Amino acid sequence: MSQPLVLASASPQRRAILARLGVAFDVRPTGVAELADGDPETVALENALRKARAAADPERDELVLAVDTLVELDGRIYGKPPDRDAARETLRELSGATHTVISGLVLLDASGERTALARTSVSFRELAPSTIDWYLATDEWRERAGGYAIQGAGAALVSEISGDYENVVGLPLAALLDLYPSLLLPSPDPDS
């Protein structure tokens, strides 16, 4: 990697995935308004573009990474539930169904914008009301697209996954590495 990487996100999951790979990065979350309605792929990509553009500093030679992840079922977007009742309703609707986790991914630097979309299919078990109550009590649903965290207790809700697991966690690694193959190369030592 020749440019500093800036992650335009406050997501602890995205930070953890990059750190686990040994990638050096700075965090620069944005407070941009996000779309919530429309074609799910268009919404995910547009939200990621908005985040990347808001985080970019035109005075610096840096690479900005922005991601927006949402859950889609039958054309309906499930973002982050605003409260416990909304989370309960989301989990009821996802119960026994296969939904798609869609992430829009943007890399932005002085040379322009590179974009990608990632899709992962996730099937939920039939969830009894008591299971939904148990999960809601974990509070994991907060700040999670679709109201669950597959890397935590939310794994108990899932019966099957097809695609990039890390996409469901919040950072589609396969799409990122296709878009930016040199991500895993060591940065040149500025002192040599």
Catalytic residue among 68, 83, 189, 191: 68
First to last CA, the chain: 16
Q: Which one, of 134, 141, 26, lies nearest residue 84 by Cα?
A: 141
35 three-class SS: coil
Query: In angstroms, rounded to a whole number, what is the distance separating the alpha carbons of residues 135 and 112?
Result: 42
Helices 84-94 and 129-138: angle between axes, nearest 10 degrees: 130
Query: In angstroms, rounded to a whole number, what is the distance separating the alpha carbons of residues 39 and 125?
Result: 26
SS (H, E, C) 107-122: EEECCEEEEEEEEEEE
Q: What is the DSSP letter of 95?
A: T
**146, 71 in Cβ contact below 8 A?**
yes
Known catalytic residue at 74: no
The catalytic residues are 68
